[in-house]
Amino acid sequence: MNLVAELWRRAVATQPVPSPEASALLAVVALALVVLAWPAVRTLVTVCHESGHAIVAVLVGRRLTGVRLHADTSGVTLSRGRPTGPGMVATLLAGYPGAAFAGIGLSLLAGTGHASGVLWLLVLGALLLLVWIRNLYGLVVVVLAGGAVALATWYSPPTVLGWLATGLAWLFLVAAPRPVLELFRSRSTTSDAAQLAALTHVHRYVWCLLWLIATLAALVAGTLWMVPGLYGVLTQR
């Protein structure tokens, strides 16, 4: 019971928000990771992608049957329900913006001093995802990622928690558009865009463009939020 009380105390505590200069530095680090360590970053993006599919599938009334993560950084979310209709379309739509939505959520909460709370939400999300993981590689990825965040959140001082949450926000926001750009070149008949095209008779490039706009808009919004004053500087020029 004491552990639960301590977790709650930590989750609702507030932490210092990184300065605009520190946030800009974290953005540069996140960009470097996206460029230099893309396979590892892509795996985290895939976790967000499949989580987006899973959450929306449940929300629209589909029966979630499993999530798989693969060593080539791909993944698949399986659900049962009508193979056509708005529910299926919404489920397919939710994958590619998943990392961007995670980044926006992290930036908003970290920017109001709730870095610890949002990091514990990530840990809780990892625990829930474990229920649906259906392969060993996926299990290892989620356990390692969730465990790393849990340990960092438990042992880090308040200032570091703010940096960690803000850095993860930047990582997801900066990384989110890249898989969409890769999708433009894909000829897969089983991709989300290809399946949406088959369901709606709208060309797959339209869906790719929609995802690209959404992820770039999230990046712009997150940037303006995490680097206060940037909008004023830009509008004065």
Q: pLDDT tens track of the chain, all 237 residues?
A: 588 888 888 888 899 999 999 999 999 999 999 999 999 999 999 999 999 999 999 999 999 999 999 999 999 999 999 999 999 999 999 999 999 999 999 999 999 999 999 999 999 999 999 999 999 999 999 999 999 999 999 999 999 999 999 999 999 999 999 999 999 999 899 999 999 999 999 999 999 999 999 999 999 999 999 998 665 555 565
How much is the pLDDT for 237? 54
Residue spans per domain, the chain: 35-68+83-226
- Bridge partners of 67, per DSSP, are 77, 133
Any idea what the Cα angle at residue 57 is, between residues 88 and 167, rounded to 5°? 120
How much is the pLDDT for 56? 97
How much is the pLDDT for 82? 92
Which residues, other chains included, contact 166 with Cβ-Cβ below 8 Å and sequence gap of 6+?
Answer: 17, 18, 22, 23, 26, 106, 107, 110, 111, 115, 226
How much is the pLDDT for 229? 66
CA–CA separation, 107 and 174 (whole Å)? 12
Which residues, other chains included, contact 120 with Cβ-Cβ below 8 Å and sequence gap of 6+?
Answer: 7, 10, 11, 150, 153
How much is the pLDDT for 235? 58
How much is the pLDDT for 236? 62
pTM of the model: 0.94
